Structure formats: C-alpha cells, structure tokens
A and B are shown apart, each in its own frame.
Chain A
C-alpha cells in the first residue's frame, strides 16, 4: 500500500468514527443544502443552464491555447503582465521576483486554492515576507496552521466556540466572542494590514479572453481591498479558468453563486482589467496574472479526463458527497478534496500516490447529479480506476481474483458448485477481516436460484 493511501486509510477511520465531527459537518452541509435548494430556483431551467455551461467550457477547453493567447494579448495591450508557469516553482519564483523588485515586506491575500496548490504562504514566509489571509475563513485556517478544509468554506469544520477560543489563544481576543464580534475584531486587524501591504494577491474565478480581464467572486469585499490599497496586484490562476467572453458571466456568475453558497449572486463580483490608468483615481500601479499549468496539461492530453477541466470550483460536489461528509476535507491530504479532487489529484500529483482516491467512492453519483457544468464525476472515477489497473498499480492477488471471477462468470456450472454452507465458510475466510467488526456477513442460500429453478422444473 502506498504511503499516501496508508495516511488516507488511517485518517478516514479516525474521522468516520468521530461523532462530534459528524455532527458538525452534517449540520453545516445540511445548511448548504437548504440554501442550494432554495437558491437554484433562480434558474427557470437549471438543466439547460448546466448543459449550456458545459458546452461553453467544452468549446473553451478544446481551444485552450487560442483563448489563453487571446487573453494574454488583450491584457498586455493595456499594460498588464502575464507570466506563464509550468510548475509551482516557476510560479513561486515569479512572485518572489516581483516582491523583490517592489521591495515588498508584506502581502495581503484573498481566497485562492491555486496558491494553496503551490504552497505560497510558507514560501513567502521563508523569504521574510509577511502574508495575511483576508477571507475570514482562510484567516481562521491561517491562525490554526491548517490547510482549507473545503474549497469554498475553508473553516466549516470549526464550531463558533472553537473559533472564539482560537482568537482568544492566538490574538488575545476577549474570550467567548460571538460570530459578529469575531468578524468586527478581525476587521480591525485586517484594515491596517490592507493599508500597510505592498502587494495584494488574489485568486481568479474566471479569466475573460475577449476583454483580457480577470473576474473575482467573493462575499466579504476583502478581494477588493486587497487590490485597492497595495500598489501591486498579482492574480494567480490555473489555465483552465478561462471563458471566451465577458458575456459568459451572465451564466457563470449565477451558476457559481447558487452551487457554491445558494446565493443568487455573490455580494462582490469584480472584473479587473489591469493597473490604474492615468486618468483613474484608484487601483494598483502594476497588475500581473500568473497562469499556472502544474499538471493541468496532463488532464488536457487525456481525451476522457479532459472534462474535469470544466470545473469552476463551486464545491457543490463536496457538499453532496457522502464520503466527504464522513471523512472531511483534510483526510484527502490533497489541495482539492471531494469528488473533483479525487478525479484530478492523480493527474496533478501522480497516479501511483493518489489512485486510492478514485476507489474511495461508493459511486453514488450525487456529485455528477449536482455539478453545474455537468462533469461526469463518478464515471471519471471509474475511468481512473481502469487507468490504474492498466498502469499495473493493482496488486497481484487482486488481478488473480478478477481472473477467477471472470472464469466463474463465463461458466454457469461453476456458480452452482458446492453448497451454501461451504460458500459461507469460504466467504468468511476471504472477507471476515475486510468486512470488519461492525457488520455481519450475508448468508448464502443452501441452493442458488438457478438450482432451485431447475429443480422445480419451471
């Protein structure tokens, strides 16, 4: 068993049996579901909206090179700078170089999963640059020294009491603050950080090819502050986040909002088209966009898996996934958890290390059913399993097992040999351990239906 799988097995056992964890996550995801069920009514025909979104993303990803170059051309025409990064190191080096050039001492950040992917925060800290997360959930995670638990709701696994305790311990906040008080307390700290920061770093929700701009969606206004006070704005994004046109936002903004948080539209939606122009009163002096590959072209090269690049990171598949619900976000030990994470992580971080994630699904299909861009997530998990078998990642005994299974299934007589008692004995021998202590094994009937049918002469 691979090291990563061992970690996953151990962690999932701990989380799946932790009743307090179960209570908190069930509560939180039930709230998400209530909001989503209500929010999705903004679409008179959600199914058509999803199909249309899938078609747009399909078109875009099929011509990714064209749209990325169009974006670069339009964005640079207005003075923006585009940096292409093949891997995390290139992206990190680019950020560091900008920091050095600007003699930056401090950075404010809005929410970005791509910066988690390249581990930007520890990198900048190692180089003596202070980084402050400004999304409240991310700020909580930064204070606890934890990665985000969920790509949209990073600290959903923490109760309000736990957050109050954390603020008391780490920031010397008065004990037992209510959520509203915690927000005010955080605001006071962060407002100063925005003013002091040399650089603001944001993620990207959509790259807009036709106008060469970046769209950022948020609820707290922190991304706007990150890009208003500091003199430099760096936006970091995966290359798949592109849409052909600004007009596509009319569909994608509400799709993202309803599926991400049940809102009709999120509170702040900003389109950044570049640095401040001469006649403008505010905005940064410089704007950079870093386009990160980091394994995405591996996905692009695979015709079947390619549709996983349609993902808009709304997190809806996590919210409905019974596996995510029981093991939580950290157990995946990957940047992206839940069904979409299980699909793409083997391509981003290696099939051998992360193939187990594709097996860690009951294939219930709830993810596929909810995905706003119609990614066939559970079928892609099946596809990954087949890939893993083809790459000889399976064990020898498993391979022999399926060969024997095939032999038995190709010959009816083999399925009728012996009797129920002997089969029960055999199945106990084979499965007692893996079936576990919490379930009884099923009992074989003394005779198969096939034998009984023949015996009764029907």
Chain B
C-alpha cells in the first residue's frame, strides 16, 4: 500500500520523532511512504479563529499539495477531521472547487488507517506500562474514532490499558482557547491529569499531540508522576 504522509504543522515543528515513529509502523505494516516536502498546514487554526479567508488560501495549497488518489495518513484526528468535514465549507466559494476535488481527498487518521484500511490490529509492539487512553475530540467526534486505537493498544505486549470514565471529556486545549481562556483551559487539563493519576496510570496515550502538549505542559510544570505519549510512539516501541 502506498501512503502519502500528512505531517501536521505542529508535529513537524515540535514532535518530528513521532512522525518518524508513525512511518516506522506504517512500513512495518507493509506500506511504502511518500512525503511531499512542500506541505505546511491544513488551515484549521485560522478557521477556528474566525479568519476564514486566510484559512482558504492555506486550504487551497493543501489541496494542491495532496491532490491525487493516494491514501493520505496523518498522526492527528483533529487535522484529519478538519480536512474531511470542513473543506467543503472552506472552499465552497472557490472558483476551483470542481477541479480540486477537495471532498474526495482520501485522508485518514493513523490508527483509523491501520485498522480500517490495512486491517491491522496487532503491530507487534511491546510497551511495559499502565496507561489511560484519551479520546481526542477531533478523533472521536469529527472522525468517529473510538475502537481503532483501543484495538491496537490491546495488542501491545506489556501495556495495561485502563478505561477512564472521563476518556471522552475534552482536555481543554482547543487551540486559541488555551491562551484566550487560560484558567478554564487549565482547569479542564488539571482534572484530566489528576484523574489519570488517580486511575493508576503512568501514561496518557492519545491520537492527538495537540491535547498531549497541553496536558504535558501541566504535568511538567507541576512535576507530576505522569507522562504523555502519542499512540504512534507506543506502537513503534519494541522494548522499553
């Protein structure tokens, strides 16, 4: 299977290692990968801030960079959900609408791609730890991803996966929300973190690094005994 990598802007800038780990897993699952070095961002940050014209220019570039029939795979449910569910609206007044075929972009979140397209559930990973899984809002509600990451994690040797009652509650990041309404964002993140610790977790695992960067920021600042880790990093681990 040939895969076109979509590495979201903040993953590109902050977490390149996770992107490489995703590639490792995809290759292990039998994929060949392609990466268009011109790619930047899907445009979601501007859209969420209300700057739809600015978003449109960037979305048009995305469609140019990713046009074609290859599967596009990203380590983010949020960015995947945005391209999948909002591009129709973002580009609806665009003269190039018809030639761009934006609605047909076959974009998949990483765990969704592994389970739904490749039919892989056991990638042969080993990760000795206890962890809660956090359903990132973009993955859960925009993409409808609930079972895929759990199925993959259940096959990870040594991993004790704890189902947290608040797994579907937002972490409080929300992009500009995190800085515009910092106290609310912190209160939401704090509860997520404290609940995970109370559940006996050593790690919070998620499909989305945007949630994790916010939670990790809280954890590091308060020097708590908890870590965050992206699911690609878990699935690429062979021993710990």
Contacts and interface: CB of A to CB of B under 8 A. Distances in A.
A409 B43 contact: yes
B16 A452 contact: yes
A322 B221 contact: no
A399 B14 CA distance: 25
A406 B20 CA distance: 26
Given A364-B174, A438-B186, A410 B218 contact: no
A398 B179 CA distance: 13
Contacts of B39: 412, 450
Contacts of B15: 445
A385 interface: yes
A385 B50 contact: yes
Nearest to B190: A438
Interface string A408-419: 111110010000
Contacts of B30: none
A439 B189 contact: yes
A423 B183 CA distance: 25
B179 A431 contact: yes
A69 interface: no
A231 to B, nearest CB: 49
Contacts of A365: 137, 141-142
Interface in A352-377: 359-366, 368-369
B147 interface: no
Interface string A384-415: 01111100001000110011011011111001
A16 B172 CA distance: 12
A448 B13 contact: yes
Contacts of B177: 359-363
Given A362-B137, A447-B16, A449-B12, A12 B178 contact: no
Please report whether the interface of chain A is mostly helix, strand, loop or mixed according to DSSP: helix
Interface stretch (B51-59, B96-104, B109-117, B121-129): B51-59
B165 to A, nearest CB: 9
Contact of A360 (B17, B51, B181, B187): B181
B170 A322 contact: yes
Interface string A49-65: 00000000000000000
B173 interface: yes
A13 B170 CA distance: 18
Interface in B181-213: 181-191, 213
A385 B16 CA distance: 32
Contacts of A399: 51
Interface string B4-30: 000101011111110110000000000
A378 B63 CA distance: 25
A299 B190 CA distance: 37
Interface string B129-167: 000000001000110000000000000000000000000
Contacts of B49: 385, 389, 398, 402
A106 B45 CA distance: 55
Given A361-B177, A362-B174, A442-B217, A452 B20 contact: yes
A448 B14 CA distance: 7
A195 interface: no
A435 interface: yes
A412 B50 contact: no
Contact of B181 (A359, A402, A438): A359
A443 interface: yes
Nearest to B59: A409
A16 B183 contact: yes
A20 interface: no
B19 A449 contact: yes
A246 B24 CA distance: 61
Interface in A420-458: 423, 431, 434-445, 447-450, 452-454, 458
Nearest to A387: B50
A364 B183 contact: no
Given A382-B48, A431-B179, A17 B13 contact: no
A327 interface: yes
The interface centre, meaning the residue of B57, B186, B220 with most chain A CB atoms within 10 A of its CB, is B186
Nearest to B89: A379
A289 interface: no
Contacts of B216: 440, 442
Given A322-B169, A359-B181, A439-B217, A415 B50 contact: no
A17 B43 CA distance: 33
A322 B187 CA distance: 10
Interface in A273-325: 322-323
A22 interface: yes
A445 B213 CA distance: 13
A449 B182 contact: no
B37 interface: yes
B181 to A, nearest CB: 5
Please name the 10 residue pairs, one residue from A and one from B, whose CB atoms are nearest each other, closest first: A362-B174, A385-B50, A439-B217, A364-B170, A449-B16, A434-B179, A389-B50, A16-B187, A365-B141, A364-B137
Given A362-B170, A366-B170, 8 more contacts: A326-B184, A326-B188, A327-B184, A402-B54, A438-B186, A440-B220, A449-B7, A450-B39
30 contacts: A9-B181, A13-B183, A16-B184, A22-B187, A322-B172, A326-B187, A360-B177, A360-B181, A360-B184, A361-B177, A362-B188, A364-B174, A366-B137, A369-B141, A386-B52, A389-B52, A394-B50, A402-B46, A402-B51, A405-B54, A408-B40, A412-B37, A415-B12, A431-B179, A434-B179, A435-B179, A436-B186, A438-B186, A449-B16, A450-B39
